[in-house]
Amino acid sequence: MSKQRKTVLIVLAFFAIYVIWGSTYLLNKIVVQEVPPFFLAGLRFTTAGVLIFILAKILKVDISITWKQFKSTIISGFLFLSFGNGVVVWALKYVDSGFAALEIAAQPLVVLILMRILQGKKISAMSYVGVALGILGVFLLVGQKEIVSQDNQLVGMLMIFTCMISWSYASIFVGKADLPKNHFVSTGYQMILGGLLLILASLCFSEPWSLPTTWSQDVLWAMLALVLFGSVVAFSSFNFLLKVVSPEKVATSTYINPIIALFLGWWILDEQISGQSIIAATILLTGVYFINSNRKFKPRSIGR
Question: How confident is the model over 54-113, as pLDDT tens digits?
Answer: 989 998 999 999 999 999 999 999 999 999 999 999 999 888 888 888 888 777 788 888
CA distances for 215 relative to 1, 186, 203, 218, angstroms: 44, 31, 20, 8
User: Domain range holding 177?
Assistant: 3-292
Q: What is d(CA 286, CA 134) in angstroms, rounded to the nearest whole number?
A: 8
HSE-CB at 28 with a 13 A cutoff on CA atoms is 35
Q: Is the pTM of this model over 0.85?
A: no
Residue 224, domain member (yes or no): yes
Measured over the CA atoms of residue 273, residue 257, residue 41 and residue 43, the dihedral's sign is: positive
Q: Label residue 1 by pLDDT band (50, 70, 90).
A: low
Distance CA 116, CA 121 (A): 4
Angle formed at CA 249 by CA 168 and CA 292, multiple of 5 degrees: 100
Question: In residues, how long is the chain?
Answer: 304
Cα 293 to Cα 128: distance, rounded to the nearest angstrom: 12
pLDDT in tens, 217-244: 999 999 999 999 988 888 788 878 877 8
Report how many domains make up the chain.
1
Whether residue 302 is contained in a domain is answered as no
Domain-located, residue 16: yes
Q: Would you state the pLDDT for residue 121?
A: 78
- Residue among 165, 130, 143 at smallest CA distance from 99: 143
297 domain residue, yes or no: no
Give pLDDT tens digits for 268-291. 988 877 788 788 888 888 887 787
236 in any annotated domain: yes
Residue 76 in domain: yes
Mark residue 215 as left, alpha or beta (left: phi above 0; alpha: psi -120 to 50; beta: remaining). beta
By the 8 A CB rule, do 163 and 87 touch?
yes
Please indicate, yes or no, if residue 300 is contained in any of the structural domains.
no
Average pLDDT, the chain: 85
- Which residue stretches of 63-216 are H helix? 67-77, 86-91, 97-104, 107-119, 125-142, 145-148, 151-176, 183-204
Rounded to 10 deg, the angle between the 151-176 and 97-104 helix axes is 50
In a domain, 304, yes or no: no
Q: How far apart are CA 210 and CA 79, in angstroms?
A: 26
